[in-house]
A and B are shown apart, each in its own frame.
Chain A
Amino acid sequence: MSQSLDSISQHWDIMYQHRLDDVASEFFRVLRDDAKLIATRCPKCSRVLIPPRSFCDRDYVETERFVELGHEGTLELFTVVYLATRGLPDPPYAIGYVRPDGADTAVVNFIRGVELDSESPPSLQVGQRMKILFKEERVGRVTDFFFEPIHG
């Protein structure tokens, strides 16, 4: 097959091994082994932070470990994606940020158990209560948990 003379194809394929800090490692261990979410607390502003971080970027100090969070929370942000993108899951799917009970910040994950139909707006509302559910088989990655609306 002869080469195109109009363009050249290039493929970027760089492997990275991102080192986790000990707070993140512990978060994933607890998630995998105990099906729980843990957070850290800033001693200055008292915010309970999830994703858990080793320091607070507002006060620039190390955080205290660890606060266990509840398994329900408040839906703060959401969308339903209808557009296909190479390398991402097939649409439609819903994602959103839920603030677990006990935390001052929200964490992002998939929202399941919602009708996804591009003809009508999603049946989700900012402020509604959500369940935080854990998969049976967990590996220690954020996709081990997900959100569902609390009905009734």
Chain B
Amino acid sequence: MTQKVAAIGVGQTEFRKTSEAESYPSLLRQAAGRALDSSGLSIGDMDAIVLALAPEALMGINHAERWCVDAVGAVGKPLMRVQTGGTTGLSAVQAGYHHIASGMFDKVLVVGADRVAESGDAQQIFNKIWDPVFERALPLTTISMIAMSAVRYMHLHGMTERQMARVSVKNHANAMLNPFAHLQQRVTVDDVLNSRYLAWPIKLLDACPQSAGGCAVVLSSERSLDASTHVPAWISGIALTGDTYFIGDRVGPKATHDYGDAGALEDAARKAYLMAGIEDPKKEIDVVETYASFSPVELHNVEALRLCDNGEAGRLFEDGYFDLRGETPVNPSGGVLCSNPISVTAMVRFAEATLQIQGRAGARQVPEVGVAVATGAGGSHQFFNVAVLTAEPRQS
């Protein structure tokens, strides 16, 4: 029978430019140490460790899980490493979840770090994710990939660049309240609209930074919790759905999901909501940390998560519905737009959602959070995962 799993502590390092950050093992150790401290446990209490590490080409050591066993406290212990592109951080949490849900382990440390831009420019590496036979000869990058999705969303739902900018304004303002956020600068809609184009319609201030930093989460089984544990955040639902790799298959009348929408995210959310017993996301979800490396992505994400209907998101963002003090705060941390340490970016979403449940989110705390949702995205905007965290354990 499924063991219930809760996140009982999280740790993050202050995300910053790679050239100003500490070494990779050091970031791992710091993040792990902070997570252990926040859970009131030590490394000796951990039964197993899961490492989140996305493309190693970013930080420059192949299969770095072998190199950093010591840094994550895993010498002599069970250690696995997860790599699912941008979804890695949350897939690693899911792997940790299954360690415990299986009944085989009680305490698992999930940890990761990144030094994006160690290679100078991550986009050089992102050109190598594409199919070498048919697509690598084209200069595809994650920026152009999302730009095309934004163009499609505009075509389907009439999004404006002003609405994209409004998302960016919200996130930058929220990041000012988050001591871990990489980008800490207030921006206005005009600032965003006047910033230079990277790939139309995405401009510099619509885009995430290339960050370095670490993140860790301590997961516990229900049976091994003790009374002194500070507000466990129960993982009531967690799921991933991967769409077809081929972006070209996600257009036209025979597409299962249109590339302008985030159909696979909607599918993953449906699975996670079902596990968690969420029937009316608009009403039941108190706060969302969603993976959007570029501002237009937040629009189709909130629709896929069924926080509003398709095509409504732009107007709602403009109305402040998703602001920190709005109806359903989205990315109170400042989101990926303000910190993107790729291997752990999706874990940071989970960690922030945990902090919201635990009441430990400081100035960015949303009041009375009973249900928090965290999402990840990766691949050719292809993989999407969703976790539903609740303040009370739920029957599965």
Residues of A at under 8 Å CB distance from B?
Answer: 10, 12, 16, 18, 20, 24, 45, 47, 49-51, 57-58, 74, 76-83, 85-89, 93, 95-97, 99, 104-110, 118, 121-122, 125-127, 141-143
Contacts and interface: CB of A to CB of B under 8 A. Distances in A.
B282 interface: no
B319 interface: no
Name the prevailing secondary structure of the B interface residues.
loop
A87 B133 contact: no
Contacts of B374: none
A82 B197 contact: yes
A101 to B, nearest CB: 12
B64 interface: no
B34 to A, nearest CB: 26
Nearest to A125: B155
Contacts of A10: 60
Name the 9 nearest CB pairs between A and B, nearest first: A79-B147, A106-B248, A126-B155, A76-B251, A77-B148, A51-B134, A88-B139, A83-B198, A104-B254
Interface string B109-150: 000000000001101100100011111011111011001110
Nearest to A96: B148
B133 A122 contact: no
B256 interface: yes
30 contacts: A18-B132, A51-B131, A51-B246, A57-B244, A58-B256, A77-B259, A78-B148, A79-B151, A81-B141, A81-B143, A81-B198, A82-B196, A83-B123, A85-B121, A85-B123, A85-B139, A86-B120, A86-B121, A87-B124, A88-B127, A99-B248, A105-B246, A105-B251, A107-B248, A108-B135, A108-B248, A110-B138, A121-B201, A127-B155, A143-B138
A97 B248 contact: yes
Name the prevailing secondary structure of the A interface residues.
loop
Given A51-B133, A80-B199, A85-B121, 18 more contacts: A10-B60, A16-B132, A18-B132, A58-B256, A76-B259, A77-B151, A79-B147, A81-B144, A82-B199, A85-B139, A88-B141, A104-B254, A105-B249, A106-B252, A126-B151, A142-B134, A142-B137, A142-B138
B158 to A, nearest CB: 12
Contact of A121 (B60, B143, B200, B254): B200
B198 to A, nearest CB: 4
A78 B151 contact: yes
Nearest to A119: B197
A81 to B, nearest CB: 5
Contacts of B57: 12
Contacts of B196: 82, 118
Contacts of A141: 137
A118 B202 CA distance: 11
Contacts of A58: 244, 256
Contacts of A108: 134-135, 138, 140, 247-248
A77 B140 CA distance: 13
Contacts of A80: 197, 199-200
